[in-house]
Amino acid sequence: MGLLPFSCFAQQYDTASKFSQPVSLDSFVVKSSFDVNAFIRRVRSDTTFYKAFKNLRFIGYDAVNSIEAFGNSGQRIASLHSKTQQQVDGKCRKTKIIEEQSTGNFYKHNGDYNYYTAELFAYLFFAKDTICNENDIVTGSLNEKGSGTMARSDYELRQLIFNPGARVSGVPFMGDRASIFDEGEAKKYDFKISLETYNGYECYVFRITPKKGYEHQALFNELTTWFRKIDYSIVARNYALSYHTLLYDFDVRMQVRTRQTGSKLYPTHIDYNGNWHVFTKKRERVKFTVDISY
């Protein structure tokens, strides 16, 4: 399947909110008279992915969780394997631990997590105490900033994971690196759209990779998203991000998969592999996977 530069036939399409960078299309997309500018606007304004995670708060589910921490030479130094169940009663939810096994120094002597990644993971996915009266409103909630370290990290993750392309404020020296659709950053990337089948669904696949020569200047090493053609819902997304400053550095890879259950979309698999260091904290090399069944 050949890839053709969209710039060859840009005049055929929508002239509002033009995306200035060339976008390569495979032959199947070309034949469908695809509107690239409208598609880019959909990508930038998508809420289906965030909504899928919001939906988690209102349904019972079982999860198998695995978290592993590694030392400087790659040896595993701590781990946690657990099976959990979210129980929903009316407008309230709580996480029940079905079974759990930890090794190494995963926990501190007082029972707290010894790893920040594990603490953030628990903050995002576990309801140790009963939580009630949440909402599934997406509009505006991506930009809500809470107080405290976990809430700030939650906000930054929301921007990078659910709103790639938006400027992430509050991260020193990041600047506009995450603004991959803006002219200053977009020139660093190759953009490609293809048509593929994923889990039985015909999907538009949107891939972003650094251009040759920009590998060390780009925040995203890869961003691949599968949009279900029938409704543009995101059924899968792969991330690879890295960035280095004197104060912090990170190299993170993630894979997220979703599934339709009833009329709603829910996440079913999350795979995270991260190596990061902040000046005030010890370096963490942590992998975790979550498999969710409904």
Residue 23 forms part of a structural domain? no
- Cα dihedral 98, 291, 53, 271, rounded to 10, equals 130
Query: In the 3-class helix/strand/coil scheme, how is 70-124 assigned residue by residue?
Result: ECCCCCEEEEEEEEEEEEEECCEEEEEEEEEEEEECCECCCCCECCHHHHHHHHH
Residue 278 forms part of a structural domain? yes
Residue 103 forms part of a structural domain? yes
Res 16: pLDDT? 45
At residue 13 the predicted structure's pLDDT band, cuts being 50, 70 and 90, is very low
Residue 21 forms part of a structural domain? no
Counted domains in the chain: 1
At residue 274's C-alpha, the angle toward residues 270 and 278, to 5°, is: 135
At residue 179 the predicted structure's pLDDT band, cuts being 50, 70 and 90, is confident
CB 261 within 8 A of CB 294: yes
At residue 177 the predicted structure's pLDDT band, cuts being 50, 70 and 90, is confident
223 C-beta neighbours (distance < 10 Å), count: 22
Per-residue tokens: 7:
């710039």
CB 69 within 8 A of CB 77: yes
At residue 7 the predicted structure's pLDDT band, cuts being 50, 70 and 90, is very low
pLDDT exceeds 60 at position 135? yes
Residue 30 forms part of a structural domain? no
Residue 11 forms part of a structural domain? no
Task: Write the pLDDT tens digit of every residue in 187-213.
Answer: 999 999 999 999 999 999 999 999 999
Task: Write the pLDDT tens digit of every residue in 94-127.
Answer: 999 999 999 999 999 999 999 999 998 998 899 9
What's the predicted TM-score (pTM) here?
0.85
pLDDT exceeds 60 at position 42? yes
Least confident of 29-33, 107-111, 172-176, 265-269: 172-176
Taking residues 164-184, report their average pLDDT: 75
Residue 14 forms part of a structural domain? no
Res 9: pLDDT? 34
Residue 6 forms part of a structural domain? no
Task: Write the pLDDT tens digit of every residue in 281-290.
Answer: 899 999 999 9
Question: Which structural domain range is residue 133 located in?
Answer: 46-293
